[in-house]
Each structure stands twice: as C-alpha cells, then as structure tokens.
C-alpha cells in the first residue's frame, strides 16, 4: 500500500457500484471496500481512512445509522463522509447533512462529478492536517510541542480510564545544557537539541508512544498501555542511547551528552480525583529527583530518595 496516497473507504453492497467508484478513484487514492455496513465502524477504526463514501441504502444498517455510529466515536467522528445515493429526495439529503455528511454523490455516477467532489474534500482534509501539524509541532526539533503532548496525554488518559489499562509518562531533561550553550553558543545548542530529540524518537518502538519538546532542553514522552517496568526499560534505553551518542562541533570537539529522566505510571480509576495533570506532575518530580541524585539516571515517582 502506498502510504503517501490519501485513503478512501467505499461502503457499498452493489458490486457494480464498487467497481465503478474504484475504477474512478484507484489511481489517485488507496481504496478500501466494505460491503456490510454493520462492519464499517470496526474497519474505519482500524484503517482510519481520510474519507468515507457511504451508500445510504444498505441491507443491514442504513447509511444514516452508520454515520451516527461513526460520529459517536472519538477515533472516527472527524472522518468526513460523502453519502452515495440513487435517491433524489431533498428531505433525505437534508437528513444526511444534518447527520454530519459533508456532501452527496448521486447514482448513476458521473466520473467528473465523483472526482471533483472527492478532490474537494481531500484538499480540505490535507489543509486542515497541515495547519494542525504546524500548530502541534516544535519548529526546532520537529517533534511534537507542549500543546501536542498535553492533548495526547488527556486523550490517552480517558482511553486508559475506559479500558482500565496503564499509562506511563516520562519527563526528560538534557544535563548541563546551560554550560554547553555558554561554551559552544546557541547555534550549537540548538543543533544538540535536534540531535537529542531524534535520538529519543528513535528509542520509541510503537506508533502510540509520542515524544514532544516540553520546553527549553526538556522533553516529554507518553506511553499508553505500558507498565511501569516497560516505561522504565524504554527510559533506560533512551538514557543509554543519549550517553553513547556523540555530537561533533565543526568536525573537531566531540561533546558528551547525558539526560536525566523521571517516570510515572498509573491505571486511571473511574471516579478518582487523580488526573492526567497529576500524572505529568509526578513524572516531573521524579525528574528533579534524578537531577538531585547526580543526573544521567532514571528515577520513578515512588522511588526512595
């Protein structure tokens, strides 16, 4: 599958309609197909298409029921849906738009109309993502920024609370960064931050593990569905990777780098007053414990002083 293409999920029970839409769109987009509307929600959560073409009249669930199901799920509610229909009733069209559909494509298909309506929605999607990426990416290091991290933590916190799974957070701080800046200058300091950010990112093994620049020389990581031992192991791997890396200045001086890491991990309890912000604060306290104990180490929240 070409991951550079936008993806479209076609929901149709008629083979001729599937073949017609696929032929029109397959050269520009990655195509998924589902014939049973009762399985659309599950498939949409798994592949997260950029756009769904949804037939209104389906044998098991109507398109209206399917879109309502999609809109009730945090993971799928933002996926735009274009209804596909052979009906010309304006009341049905109004009902679909009221349910959250972004457009309609009428049968029989006109290739130019299908292309135009799909391209229009894809352009909107890509523009929104570009703007979102700019607002959630740290300009210097290209990892997430503080806003991105806080949004991710609160989303994963609610998921962990629903599913009763552990969630871990790391707070990481580059040791002796002020001294490095004073010795080599801020341009070198910035280059070091980029190097460290990429070293941290390469130490994460799952797409669900997210790294962000918290501020200055401090970074943060969220690890959903990970036990304390799992968080501790990844933290130690990252610490060692930073320590073993070398940053060369003008091809001459080789700067030794180390990082201190504070971690915490909990299973959120429904109704508990403990929050995602408390989780971050606990990891931050563990970070400063690591600093006090001599730097270049991993400490966890409940670790004895």
Taking alpha carbons only, the member of 63, 58, 54 closest to residue 21 is 54
Q: Which of 282, 279, 235 is nearest to 260 (CA)?
A: 235
**Cβ neighbourhood burial of 283 (10 Å; 0-12, 13-18, 19+):** buried
231 confidence band (pLDDT: 50, 70, 90): very high
Of 200, 185, 188, nearest to 259 by C-alpha is 200
- pLDDT at position 303: 72
What is the pLDDT at residue 252? 65
Range 131-146 average pLDDT: 91
Q: What is the pLDDT of residues 23-81, one digit of tens each?
A: 999 999 999 999 998 999 999 999 999 999 999 888 888 889 999 999 999 889 999 99
Domain with CATH 3.30.70.270 in the chain: 146-300
The active-site residue, picked from 12, 93, 217, 218, is 217
Q: Give this prediction's pTM.
A: 0.68
Q: How high does pLDDT run on average in the chain?
A: 91
Burial 74-95 (b: 16+ CB within 10 A, else e): eebeebbbbbbbeeeeeebbee
Query: Which tens digits make up the pLDDT trace of 266-288?
Result: 999 888 889 999 999 999 999 99
* pLDDT band with cut points at 50, 70 and 90 for residue 304: low
How is domain 7-136 classified at the CATH fold level? Rossmann fold (3.40.50)
- In the chain, list all ranges with CATH 3.40.50.2300: 7-136
Residue 6: pLDDT band (50, 70, 90) is: very high
CATH number 3.30.70.270 given to 146-300 = yes
Active site residue 217: yes
CA distance 265 to 278: 11
Q: What does the pLDDT look like over 159-214, one tens digit per residue? A: 999 899 999 999 999 999 999 999 989 999 999 999 999 999 999 989 899 999 99
The helix (H) or strand (E) run that includes residue 259 is strand 259-266
């Amino acid at each position: 599958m070409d991951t550079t293409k936008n993806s479209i999920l076609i929901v149709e029970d008629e083979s001729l309609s599937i073949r017609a839409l696929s032929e029109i769109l397959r050269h520009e987009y990655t195509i998924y197909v589902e014939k049973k509307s009762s399985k659309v929600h599950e498939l949409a959560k798994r592949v997260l298409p950029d756009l769904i073409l949804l037939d209104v009249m389906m044998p098991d669930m109507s398109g209206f029921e399917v879109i309502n199901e999609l809109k009730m799920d945090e993971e799928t509610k933002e996926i735009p849906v274009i209804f596909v229909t052979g009906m010309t009733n304006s009341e049905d069209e109004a009902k679909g738009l009221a349910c959250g559909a972004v457009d309609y494509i009428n049968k029989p298909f006109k290739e130019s109309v299908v292309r135009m309506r799909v391209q229009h929605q894809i352009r909107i999607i890509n523009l929104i993502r570009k703007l979102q990426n700019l607002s959630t990416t740290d300009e210097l290091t290209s990892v997430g920024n503080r806003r991105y991290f806080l949004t991710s933590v609160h989303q994963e916190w609610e998921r962990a609370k629903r599913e009763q799974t552990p969630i871990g957070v790391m707070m990481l701080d580059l040791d002796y960064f002020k001294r490095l800046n004073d010795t080599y200058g801020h341009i070198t300091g910035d280059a070091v931050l980029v190097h460290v950010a990429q070293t941290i990112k390469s130490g994460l093994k799952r797409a669900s593990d997210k790294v962000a620049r918290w501020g200055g020389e401090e970074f943060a990581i969220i690890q959903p569905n990970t036990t304390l031992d799992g968080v501790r192991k990844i933290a130690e791997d990252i610490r060692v990777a930073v320590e073993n890396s070398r940053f060369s200045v003008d091809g001459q001086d080789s700067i030794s780098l180390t990082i201190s890491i504070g971690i915490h991990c909990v299973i959120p309890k429904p109704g508990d007053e403990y929050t995602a912000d408390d989780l971050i604060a606990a990891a931050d306290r563990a970070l400063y414990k690591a600093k006090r104990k001599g730097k270049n180490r991993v400490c966890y929240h409940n670790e004895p002083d």
